[in-house]
Amino acid sequence: MWIYEKKLQYPVRVSKCDVRMAKLLHEQYGGADGELAAALRYLNQRYSIPDKVVGLLNDIGTEEFAHLEMIATMIYKLTKDATPEQIRAAGVDDHYVNHDRALFYHNASGVPWTASYIQAKGDPIADLYEDIAAEEKARATYQWLIDQTDDPDLKDGLKFLREREVIHSLRFREAVEILKEDQAQKKIF
Amino acid sequence: MAHKQLTEEYYKLLHEIQAVDFVLVELNLYLDTHPSDSAIIEQYNAYAVKSKQLKEEYARRYGPLQHGDMADKPYSWPDAPWPWQV
């Protein structure tokens, strides 16, 4: 089970209303390499992964939900005071006629989230390599998002999230080595 | 307990909890792949104590951070602000 903590993992601040950045941040909300995809990917894979690495998938999957909440907070804060004129000017009137200021699980281009973004192969090495790739793609996306804004407060939150992708990738790489060592030992006798 | 005021002290305590809990998140992931590193386990336990102390103080001053924390009267859990509002 999960217990909700009434706090963010890391403080999220923005220094101005910015509908355009909110639109772009949807890439990490409901995009292929976003936080929703990450959380659902790892928490689903954990049931069929060897015991030695279940804890890692469980814990990183859980942390991804905390990151999803941070992205949601960024989008919420960037748009809560937006006027209809600002919304039109940012080119997101197509989102707003459907959702108003509600968030939705779609990417920066409005394509809805789909389970075909993620995989569970039942093969531990295949799954972990997918997970490493997912972290690297998310890291790259965070870099492109950072490059798109001059808001120092928003950049601060995005840089934190970018660094988490680096750590998660490292831990998944260690998990691969743990499983390889395990397999090598089994072949000895 | 007074209604949650978003004072400087509130943010200071919240940020302190976030910092200490981040250490726990980070050490936990490390220990998932390095379970025999006893120096890190000791560090983890020291921060676990610190986190518990800070959260007790938070619950006393501003209401529960999570279910299982001591509740106040009237029950403030469903009250704003939620994390995205602070």
Provide the residue range defining the domain that includes A44. 19-188
Q: Is B25 on the interface with A (CB under 8 A)?
A: yes
pLDDT, tens only, A83-105: 999 999 999 999 999 999 999 99
Nearest to B28 among A10, A59, A77 (CB): A59
Q: Is residue B38 predicted with pLDDT exceeding 70?
A: yes
Distance of alpha carbon B47 from alpha carbon A26, whole angstroms: 34
**Which backbone phi and psi does A159 adopt, to 5 degrees?**
-65, -40
Residue A121 near residue A36, CB atoms below 8 Å: no
Two structure tokens written together for B4: 């949650």
pLDDT, tens only, A12-32: 999 999 999 999 999 999 999
**Which backbone phi and psi does B67 adopt, to 5 degrees?**
-60, 140
Distance of alpha carbon A128 from alpha carbon A142, whole angstroms: 21
pLDDT, tens only, A110-122: 999 999 999 999 9
Tally of CB atoms within 10 A around A11: 19
- Within-domain flag for B1: no
- Within-domain flag for A99: yes
Q: Is residue B2 predicted with pLDDT exceeding 70?
A: no
- Within-domain flag for A64: yes
CATH of the domain at A152: 1.20.1260.10
Average pLDDT over residues A35-64: 98
Record: contact B25-A9, CB cut-off 8 A: yes
Residue A82 falls in which region: left (phi positive, over 0), alpha (psi -120 to 50) or beta: beta
Distance of alpha carbon B23 from alpha carbon A163, whole angstroms: 14
- Within-domain flag for B21: yes
- Within-domain flag for A5: no
Residue A103 near residue A29, CB atoms below 8 Å: yes
- Within-domain flag for B20: yes
pLDDT interval class at B6 (50, 70, 90): confident
Two structure tokens written together for A98: 């459907």
pLDDT, tens only, A3-12: 999 999 999 9
- This prediction's pTM: 0.96
Closest CA to A18 of A163, A161, A153: A153
Provide the residue range defining the domain that includes B19. 8-64
* Tally of domains in chain A: 1
Two structure tokens written together for A51: 């015991």
Q: Model ipTM?
A: 0.94
Distance of alpha carbon A123 from alpha carbon A62, whole angstroms: 22
Record: contact A56-B33, CB cut-off 8 A: yes
pLDDT interval class at A186 (50, 70, 90): confident
Q: Is residue A172 predicted with pLDDT exceeding 90?
A: yes
